[in-house]
Chains A and B, each alone.
Chain A
Amino acid sequence: MASRPLRRFRFGRALRASEEGRTILEALVGERLPALVRSVRYHRPRAAFCGVGFCTGCLVRVNGRPNVRACRQAVREGDRVATENSWPSPRFDVLGALDALFPRGIDTLHGFRRPAFATRTYQRVVRRLAGYGRLPDHGAPAAGIRPPTVLRARVVIVGGGRAGAAAAARVAALGEPALLLDRGPGPGPIPGVEVLPSTTATVLSAAGPGGGDQFTLLGYSAEDAGVLVRAPAVIVATGSYDASLLFEGNDRPGVMTADLALGLARGARSLPFRRAVVVGSGPRALEVLSALGPRACAVSAPGGIPPELVRRASELGVSLFPRSMVVRARGRSRVRSVELRRRGSGPTDLVPCDAIVLAHRRLPHHPLLFQAGATMVWRPLSRGYYPALDPSGRTSVPALFAAGSVAGVAPAEAAASGVAAAEAALGRPRSGPPSTPVDPGNSGEYDGYFEELLTQPRRGKWVACACEDVLLDELEAASGRGYRGLEVVKRYTGLGTGLCQGRYCVPDALSVLSVLEHRAPPEVGYLTQRPPVVPTPLGSLARLHDEVGGEVVP
């Protein structure tokens, strides 16, 4: 591979260089995943976790701008990258002592009330801990003010993976204007399709200004330029992502999703670990195992391990822990070993490792559908919400469609589901067979899992919501006081109100609450998806102000 030109940047006071096109995270990864930030409440060290721009593990300050995701932002020449919410550094942070001082957590709901005259002092102290980054150094640089992009299309496709690209191509082939938005680099040019790469769709409103264009889609692209799209039909093909998993220390540097591990295997020069325990037994785990090769040391799965995975593991000399649950990641500033407990109160194995890669389940990336008001259904096998769809991918919202893995369609059928959605969106007859969403579930291997998990002894903190440092104990306390349902427990504990907007904490919290409330997860409810689905810069929205019409009385 020809080496790409170097970009020089500053990380703290150090001068660094990286190949063009790499993300800040890739540029900073060496032998280890660097701790980049400290958590909000307990100042626990955190490192990149998700690799796809949703978690709070890789927040850095870039050129005076706070809360930038290092895993999404490419290095530019002269960038000044700094760490935040830690002093003197994320590795050695003075306030990190809080974590050890309060092993069972800090009760901000009931604590700090007495004596009354001290409340001001308490508030000053607690307030100092709040937030991640400091106020930005400056406003939008004059040169950076880009006019908003305002577009119209017959069909807008969000997401440029297999399903989205196929949908867009089909719309174009049928002679209608198609517009495709993708958060990442996108699928490349598609004949007849306007493709907007690096453009994140963040708000989808089905109560448009009327005139046939019932959808208003807001988003933003590079340099915070606002994007406004109006369209009579929308196809959401936003794909899926790897879930988190609840266990003690699941927020420690070194615990990461398969999304991140695979991303690093592709993009970084070296993998920041030597011995990874892979969690999961499905195709995703196989993919991870293959990508990590000798860097994988063990596979843990909640149920049985299928033959292909067994074969691959034995080729690599990887030990297998079927029917096991991850109960504890040991290590403070990084993972040093993991405790695996055999299901059914079996013995515990201690496996030395420096990474835990979560490849146990993929979840549909559905916030946009949720937010637009599409009816969602609970799939018991995969223990997740999926959009309710007809065979063409039609949701309960007129003219809103879903295709690909967000619709629960198997990868092999993704393109076909995109085609079907495109045809349905245009009111054309379907050219292929109906797509059948499958439950890519785990065939029941999580049955009883959380019941068992909750009985495990807790030595340190079990972080149920990493963005807000909400502990499992707090969910139990809320439940114990009679607060029931995810919506209420969210308000009681703050779970799901952080930067990832519940993507990583809500799925397992649903399972936990279902155990605590003795009712099925769908009865525990779901969180109303409040827009935007990704934090959206105020500047990009501000610039769309003149373009967005008012609400009309129907």
Chain B
Amino acid sequence: MTLERDRYRVVIVGAGIVGLYTAYHLARAGAGPIAVVDRGFLSSGGSGRNGGGIRQQWETRSTIRLARESIAAYRRFGSEFGYNIWFRQGGYLFLAETPAELDRLRAVHDVVVAEGLPSRLLSEGEVGAHVEGIAPGAVVGGAYLGSDGTLYPFPAVWGVYEAARSLGVEVALGVEARGVSSENGRVSRLVTSDGSIATDTIVNAAGGWSADLSRRAGLDVPNVASRHEILATEPLKPFLDPMVVRRSDGLYFSQTMRGEIVGGVTVPHPPGTARGVPSSPRFLTSMARALVTLVPRLASVGVLRAWAGFYDDTPDGFPIVGEDPRLPGFVHANGFGGHGFMLAPAASRRVAQSVLGEATDLDPREFGPGRFAAGPAGRAVEGLQLG
């Protein structure tokens, strides 16, 4: 699929939820000709491989705000984009298996409440009421926010894709970004497998592969791709409303609208994308152990399929959003870790703002591409990562 022009105002690398949403915001703002290139098929990256979890319970107020704004966007998604993403606000339930963990949840709870969200701390019994079949004694309590929830990632991708296209955005699939040329210290062209494209601005929304692209542009970045696996079970009649999560082992699982239990757990893998996305026996057995120990009645339920994708991790747990001070015209929209879907609507609005040279409300010490030069001292960390 080739592009129609040889010059664009903006070329976005990556047709995941972040790249597409950015294109959509830019097109709505009338930014000029916009192209999105992706070497894979639509939703081949993290945006087609995630758990669809959308939560506002975070350690940092800035992340909570972005998530909150995104929830509002996903709530009106159906009328705005014409696709039903089945965003179901069944809550996120954090489990505490020890009093110490409950204390940590309390600290998060306090931040969430300070942001005006009605998070609640739950007793063991209250947790049990949310999770049918939970093993007695598995938890001492939990934290719950009912307006968190889950959605279907695919229709969200289709909806934003179609909306962007109908606003004139060109999306070229099967085109790989291979390099970035600059003139007078500013981005001038994107070199692709399909020729080079003149442009003022390149947005790096390449998800787990974003660090490769930044490096090809000569920029040293700290993002690290990490493989994360996830599985779905055979569909059961609905019995579980919230997304259930546990910080100690990164466990998360929810029941989709189709009845499948979908979730993951942390399993260490060698960093980087070199080994691709096969599933590992280690993950399958770890996840099975975690689920069956927590909800013994799931023992006879079959795992239907497992797959993997990449988180694009940053050292401080915040994404990288904005123009790189070292290379004007190169804008980052990456580093979303395991929560890019839930931040995409809000974060990509800021990406678009910075492409247009507008000021954003993001603290550059939390989200700015230049923040790593100063070292970690004194900077905030968003440590509430799962999966």
Contact = CB atoms under 8 A, between A and B. Distances in A.
B304 A136 contact: no
Interface in B251-301: 256-259, 267-270, 275, 278-282, 284-289, 291-293, 296-301
B42 interface: yes
Given A114-B78, A134-B236, A491-B154, A537 B302 contact: yes
Contact of B280 (A127, A133, A137, A551): A551
A488 interface: yes
A541 B303 contact: yes
Contacts of B304: 499, 501, 532, 535
Given A123-B257, A536-B303, 8 more contacts: A65-B300, A113-B78, A119-B87, A131-B237, A207-B275, A224-B299, A494-B258, A544-B288
Interface in A451-494: 468, 481, 483, 485, 487-488, 491-492, 494
A203 interface: yes
B238 A128 contact: yes
Contacts of A113: 78-79, 82-84
B220 interface: no
B132 interface: yes
Given A488-B42, A545-B285, A133 B237 contact: yes
Interface stretch (A88-96, A104-112, A268-276, A442-450): A104-112
A110 B281 contact: no
A108 B256 CA distance: 14
Given A205-B278, A488-B43, A135 B237 contact: yes
Interface string A507-531: 0000000000000000000001011
Nearest to B296: A139
A40 interface: yes
Nearest to B44: A487
B222 interface: no
Contacts, number: 211
A542 interface: yes
A174 interface: no
A539 B284 CA distance: 11
Contacts of A84: 237
SS class, residues of chain A in contact with chain B: loop
B291 A531 contact: no
B284 A108 contact: no
A487 B158 CA distance: 14
A547 B282 CA distance: 9
Listed residue (A126, A488, A528) with the most chain B CB atoms within 10 angstroms of its CB:
A488
Contacts of A547: 285
A538 B270 contact: no
A541 B290 CA distance: 11
A99 B321 CA distance: 48
A140 interface: yes
B306 A130 contact: no
B297 A135 contact: yes
A553 B239 CA distance: 40
B41 A140 contact: no
Nearest to B157: A491
7 tightest A-B CB contacts, nearest first: A535-B302, A131-B259, A139-B296, A539-B299, A113-B78, A541-B288, A130-B259
A119 B237 contact: no
B234 A542 contact: no
Contact of A116 (B76, B257, B267): B76
A542 B293 contact: yes
Nearest to A112: B84
B128 interface: no
Contacts of A532: 284, 303-306
A468 B257 CA distance: 13
A538 to B, nearest CB: 4
A499 B259 CA distance: 12
